[in-house]
């Protein structure tokens, strides 16, 4: 089943790819909007807003709750409340998808360097990886605050290429949303779309990744391991 022949490093999205973080994100959104006397959207709806970072996610939540575009002050207040509540729910509201830890361990054993490239606000990333027991597998972590432009811009992927000293064809990017696939395509790197994540309610295949997988452990045979 090997589809990729010269992979020397891998980079992963976080939310929806490695981690089912929607419950914690949804709880924080619900609490933030409730504090603003606005209706809480709940898990199913909030899951469709994940992927572009916290600012965009809260703009989507406010637009839904208000029935209009939020003002700048409303946006700032909502984001501050989200950060406050997400600090309380990020770990309890996040779990690894099946076979993630075992697959990362197998990749590490093979000597492949691994990176995280996420639009999640940077302060939440490292503590979450540690709490889930997977921090040790990654030698580079790029959060949403570490680049001037987030995915779907390829800036963060270019940082990974430089850090690991690999060519675009040697880095495999694994994600769950169109942001991930668009960023990988813009950087010229091979890419895999996971079907179980949070892709705004649309199938990841629409974004035409090089390969789609339904289970995380299918990653190993896909790269010939």
Show Cβ contacts of residue 122 under 8 Å, excluding neighbours closer than 6 positions: 143, 144, 145, 146
**What pLDDT sits at residue 5?**
84
Cβ neighbour number for residue 73 with a 10 Å cutoff: 8
Contact between residue 184 and residue 175 where contact means Cβ atoms under 8 Å apart: yes
Q: What is the pLDDT of residue 102?
A: 98
Residues belonging to the chain? 225
pLDDT for res 82: 97
What number is the average pLDDT over the span 25-36? 97
The pLDDT assigned to 85 comes to 97
At 92, is the secondary structure helix, strand, or coil? coil
The confidence band for 39, taking pLDDT boundaries of 50, 70 and 90, is very high
Confidence of residue 1 (pLDDT cuts 50, 70, 90): very low
pLDDT cut 70: percent of the chain above it: 99
Question: Does the active-site annotation cover 214?
Answer: no
Q: What is the mean pLDDT of residues 13-26?
A: 97
* Mean pLDDT to the nearest integer, 51-71: 97
- Percent of the chain as helix, strand, coil, to the nearest 5: 50, 10, 40
Does position 159 have pLDDT exceeding 50, yes or no? yes
Could you say which of 13, 15, 20, 176 is catalytic? 13
Average pLDDT of span 4-12: 94
Of 96, 95, 97, 82, the residue nearest 27 (C-alpha)? 82
Compute the average pLDDT of residues 91-118.
97
- Please compute the mean of the pLDDT values over residues 126-153 and round it to a whole number: 97
CA 220 to centroid of chain Cα atoms:
20
Residue 2 pLDDT exceeds 80: no
How crowded is the C-beta side of 169, counted as CA atoms within 13 Å?
Answer: 4
**What is this structure's pTM?**
0.95
């Amino acid at each position: 089943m090997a589809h990729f022949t010269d992979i020397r490093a891998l980079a992963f999205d976080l939310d929806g790819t490695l981690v089912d973080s929607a419950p914690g994100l949804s709880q924080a959104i619900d609490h933030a909007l409730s504090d603003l006397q606005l209706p809480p959207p709940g898990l199913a709806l909030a899951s469709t807003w994940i992927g572009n970072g916290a600012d965009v996610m809260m703009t989507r939540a406010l637009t839904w709750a208000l029935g209009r575009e939020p003002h700048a002050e409303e946006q700032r207040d909502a984001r501050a409340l989200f950060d406050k509540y997400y600090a309380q729910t990020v770990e309890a509201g996040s779990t690894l998808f099946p076979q993630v830890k075992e697959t990362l361990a197998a990749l590490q054993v093979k000597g492949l360097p691994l990176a995280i490239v996420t639009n999640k606000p940077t302060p939440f990333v490292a503590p979450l990886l540690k709490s889930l027991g997977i921090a040790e597998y990654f030698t580079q972590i790029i959060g949403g605050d570490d680049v001037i432009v987030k995915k779907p811009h390829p800036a963060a992927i270019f940082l990974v290429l430089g850090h690991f000293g690999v060519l675009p064809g040697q880095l495999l990017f694994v994600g769950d949303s169109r942001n991930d696939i668009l960023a990988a395509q813009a950087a010229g790197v091979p890419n895999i779309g996971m079907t179980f994540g949070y892709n705004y309610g649309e199938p990841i295949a629409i974004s035409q990744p090089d390969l789609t997988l339904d289970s995380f452990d299918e990653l190993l045979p896909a790269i010939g391991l």
